[in-house]
Structure formats: C-alpha cells, structure tokens
Amino acid sequence: MASPSHRRSLRKRRVLVSAAAVAAAGLGASYFVMNANAGTVDLYHQTLAAKDGWASSGSGTTGGTKADSAHTFTVSTRAQLVKALGSASDTTPRIIKVKGTIDANTDDSGKKVSCADYASGTGYSLTSYLKAYDPSTYGRSKLPSGTQEKARAAAQKKQAAQIVFKVPANTSIVGVPGTKAGITGGMLQIQNVDNVIVRNLAFAATEDCFPQWDPTDGDDGNWNSNYDSVTLRGATHVWADHNTFTDAPHLDSANPKYYGREYQIHDGALDITKSSDLVTVSRNQFTNHDKTTLIGSSDSEPSGKLRVSIHHNVYKGIVQRAPLARVGQVDIYNNYYDVTPLNGYALQYSINSRAKAQVVVANNYWKVPSSVKVSKLLSGDGTGAIKGSGNLVNGTTTDLVAAYNAASSKDLKTSVNWTPTLTSALESAAAAKNLPTTLATTTGAGVL
C-alpha cells in the first residue's frame, strides 16, 4: 500500500463503499475496501507489492488481475468452484470470489459425501486392512501390497477426485469479506503453473479417509495421509496471504492408534514442494496442526529453486514444520510463534533447515512457556544453515542458533550464501516486540 502523505493519524480506517457508489464510478460490482490513508483497495484485483518477498521477483505476482467479466466468478458451492477453475491447463486470467464456506465433501447437488461413500465399491474396509498388514504377521520390511492396499488406493483416488481443486495459472482466489469465506475438507492444488494468489480464506478439516500404513517410516512405522489444505508442486510466483489453516473440528488428539501408531488423517497445511519457486507467505494464521509447511519434499531436489519468503504469520498450537526447509533460500521474518501446548499439539520444533537449505531468520517473536527449552525452537540435519538476528523469546533478544547448537550433535551452520533484498515489509527488531499484539488482529482470514 502507498505510504500516507498527510498528517492525519497513521491508524488505518476501513469502510465499505456502497454498490451504488462503485457502479456510479464505473468500477463494476466488486467488493471494495476504503482505507483512509491509502485510498480504495479492490481486494480481487490487488497484486503483490514490489519487493514483498520472493514472489515479487521478476514478473511479480498479479494473479487474475487481467480477468475479463466472463472469467470473474462468485462461487459458494463445490460445483461452482470446480466450474470456475475450469481446466488446469487454461492460462486465461480469472478471478474467483469465494462467498461463504464451501464443503469439498459434497456432490454436485450439495449432498454430503462420506468416507463410506468413497470406499463403496472398492472392497476396502479398515478392519480388513488392519488384519492384512498387521506387523506381527506381515512384517515391517516392505510397504503394503495386495488386495486391500489396491482397494485403499482406489478409495483414496475416489476421494481425491472429489476434494482436490486444481488451480490454473493467472488465478486469484479470494474470500468475499464478511461471509466467513473458506474451504472445508478440500485441497487447493497449485501444480506446474505460474502466477497465483490465494487470499482471505479459512481452510479447515482437510482429512484423508484412507491413510496408508508404512512400516518402514521411522523405527516404528507411521500412518501417512495424502492431502494438504494448499499444496504447491512445481509452482512459481504464488502469494498466499491472510488465510487461516486449522485441523478443527477433528483435532489430532481424537485420532485412534493402530499398530501402536497414531492414525494420522492430516498432512500439511501449506506445502511448497517439487521445485516450486518464488513464493511469498504473509499474514496467515496457522493453528492446531502438526506438519505445517514443508519446503522441498526431498533432500535431492535440485538447487536454484524453493525460494520462499515467510513473514507476519501467526503460529499457535503447531507441532513442527513452521517451516521445514530443504535446498532453497528461505527468508523468515516478523512472525509470531506461540509454542505453548494447545489442544494436545505440543512443540517438536518451529524451524528446521536441512539438505543444505540457506535460511535467514530475523526479527521474529517466540512466546515460550517454562516447560519448553529454547534449544527446541530450531532443528536441522547438520547440513542446513540458519542465519539468525533480532529474534525475541518472551521479549528478550536471543541467539536461537547458539542455543540449538549447544544442545545438538548436528550443528546448524550460521552463515548463508545470499542476502535478502525483497524485504519491503520487514520491521525492525525493536518493532518485533509488538508482534504478539499487532498480528493478533491483522492476520488470518476475515480481517481484510
């Protein structure tokens, strides 16, 4: 937004512009916000500001700004959203306004679709699956295969066809203010496309009905699920802003255990993988979640990509991956981390740098209870780097890397091979003391 040029209070006031006034101005029927200092802002045509993180690099991120009236949609049902998205290969600019909450687990008539409906006709049943792959008889050396695994995969494929929304290039998906806009039970898939904006949406209850058992995952095996609320795979120039991510209403504490391991139905909240590049993640709220943001899905992803900026986000009740970074150049600043255990979600770590990732962590604020050691805030594999500065723990400037390295056998490297320059939103270390207060009412869905 433009800097204020007069002497009035810097506090920003927002009022709605009436539809009549908008029409009289010849601006169409979009929803506008009036900012007393910066003028009128059209959320649907708003683009990422210059130098606002990696997504502003090069051509910048403009989403569907150039959409004509034929490619501007207001949607409130799953069927309408699918139609508005069209083909994932269609690069025609489009704006999609989400009005209210869309339930991905509904059919074209709006009828609720259940896990049992997805399993119907595939031959899958959890009871049969558990019997077939019990480690005491099946062993722990290989992935499940055979009749029940094929049936599970078939049921999962049916669910994916229902809940995965493939986003084409040059698209803006924006929640309509005042309507509790969001998607429940679904996944936005931004794959091998360029120039996408996702704003002002609440993502909740993204759940896999059919997790897969992997006895080779870790020492004791794990149940792995298949859907992120928003997933970037080979995507470029993506801006995710003012969204809310949560597992609610089904929290992990309600998950049963099978084979002694949690039956995990949640995967990532916002994952950035498969050599995605030039991404800005700003002013979102992440809460009540385990594996939050994965940057790079493999240690062997090629270098030169996975450049991501993460700023002014709020993390509460997050277990890990805020984010986990591999390979790329990642800038993390002015975020607020409250690592107090919440609803059974207890911290493993906040930020992990591995696979030679080059991470800059500056002017963030951690609220840390006495039960959590400061050395637990970071993690790494011995090859990743974190250059930290101006970070606060309970209001006190703290060297997080030194605290981690003093307690770990796999030290984080302390210097990186790049210097962030796309930091127009960066606030000073002194200003970071106010982040718990300022971000409380300026992040997440519904505040634009």
Given 94, 152, 199, 321, which residue is catalytic?
321
Q: How far apart are CA 30 and CA 44, in angstroms?
A: 7
DSSP letter for each residue of 40-70: EEEGGG--PPTTBSGGGSTT---TTTT--GG
Judged by phi (left if over 0) then psi (alpha if -120 to 50, else beta), residue 382 lies in left
Q: Which long-range contacts (CB under 8 A, 24 or more apart) does 107-115 make?
A: 107/78, 107/162, 108/78, 108/79, 110/77, 110/79, 113/162, 115/159, 115/209, 115/210
Q: What burial letters (b/e) apply to 27-65, b meaning 16+ CB within 10 Å?
A: eeebbbbeeebeeeeebbbbbbbeebbbbbbeebbbbbb
Within 10 angstroms of residue 338's Cβ, the number of other Cβ atoms is 18
Q: How far apart are CA 155 and CA 149, in angstroms?
A: 10
Q: Which has the closest alpha carbon to 448: 245, 184, 179, 196?
A: 179
Active site residue 321: yes
- On whether the CB atoms of residues 66 and 143 are closer than 8 A, the answer is no
| 1, 19, 317 from 13: Cα distances, Å | 14, 19, 31
Q: How far apart are CA 281 and CA 130, in angstroms?
A: 39
Q: How far apart are CA 191 and CA 117, in angstroms?
A: 27
Q: How far apart are CA 395 and CA 378, in angstroms?
A: 18
Q: Which has the closest alpha carbon to 82: 45, 110, 47?
A: 110
Judged by phi (left if over 0) then psi (alpha if -120 to 50, else beta), residue 66 lies in alpha
Q: What burial letters (b/e) apply to 145-157, b meaning 16+ CB within 10 Å?
A: eeebbebbbbbbe
90: phi then psi, degrees, rounded to nearest 5? -85, 115
Q: How far apart are CA 30 and CA 225, in angstroms?
A: 38
Q: How far is Cα of residue 287 from the mean position of the Cα atoms in its chain?
A: 11
Q: How far apart are CA 208 and CA 156, in angstroms?
A: 8
SS3 378: strand
DSSP state of 338: E
Q: Which residues are catalytic?
A: 321
